Amino acid sequence: MAPTSTKHDNATLGWRCRLWPFFQRQAVPRWNCYESVDWDHAMKSHKPEIALLVLVILVSIGGFWKLFMGPEADPGGVHYLHLVTSLLWLALLLVQLVNIERKRFSRHRDIGLAIFVMGPLIVATLAMLSVHSAARALVEAQADRLIVQNVMMTFELGLVIALAFALRKNRNLHGAFLMSSSLMFLGIALFFSLLSFVPQFRIEGPETFYRFGTAAAAAGLVIAVLGTAFFLRNRRHGWPWLLVGLVFFINEAINALMRKYGGLQPLTEFVGSFNENGAFGVALVGFSALLSVAWHAGKNKGQS
Contact 49, 179 (CB under 8 A): yes
Other C-beta atoms closer than 10 Å to the C-beta of 204 total: 9
Helix (H, G, I), strand (E, B) or coil at 251: helix
Determine the pLDDT at residue 301: 60
Degrees (nearest 5) of the Cα angle 130, 135, 136? 100
Establish if 214 belongs to a structural domain. Answer: yes
- 219 CB-near residues (< 8 Å, 6+ apart): 186, 187, 188, 190, 191, 194, 248
Please report, in tens digits, the pLDDT of each residue of the chain (304 residues total). 444 444 444 444 444 444 444 444 444 444 444 443 344 444 467 889 999 999 999 999 888 887 787 777 778 889 899 999 999 999 999 999 999 888 888 888 888 889 899 999 999 999 999 999 999 999 988 999 899 999 999 999 999 999 999 998 898 999 999 999 999 999 999 988 888 888 888 877 777 778 878 888 899 999 999 999 999 998 999 999 999 999 999 999 999 999 999 999 999 999 999 999 999 999 999 999 999 998 888 766 654 4
Number of Cβ within 10 Å of residue 145's Cβ equals 19
* Any domain includes 33: no
- Per the CB < 8 A criterion, the answer to whether 164 and 231 are in contact is no
What residues contact 280, with CB distance under 8 A and at least 6 apart?
124, 125, 127, 128
Domain assignment of residue 8, yes or no: no
- Domain for residue 117, yes or no? yes
Asked whether residue 2 is assigned to any structural domain, the reply reads no
- pLDDT computed for residue 44 by the predictor: 64
Q: Confirm if 10 and 103 have CB atoms less than 8 A apart.
A: yes
Alpha helix (H) residue ranges in the chain: 10-18, 20-25, 47-69, 77-101, 105-112, 115-139, 147-166, 171-197, 210-233, 239-244, 247-260, 264-272, 276-303
The residue segments making up the domain with residue 117 are 45-297
Cα–Cα distance between 249 and 85 in angstroms, integer?
25
Amino acid making up residue 162: A
111 within 8 A of 91, measured Cβ to Cβ:
no
- Sign of the CA dihedral with 289 first, then 155, 157, and 272 last: negative
> Does residue 163 belong to any structural domain of this protein?
yes
Handedness of CA 54, 66, 273, 208 (dihedral sign): negative
Residue 134 makes CB contacts below 8 A (sequence gap 6+) with 144, 147, 150, 267, 268, 269, 271, 272
- Single-letter code of the amino acid located at 24: Q
Identify whether 99 is part of a domain. Answer: yes
> Does a structural domain hold residue 25?
no
How many domains does the chain fold into? 1
pLDDT at 36: 39
Residues 6+ apart with CB under 8 A from 267: 134, 143, 147, 148, 151, 258
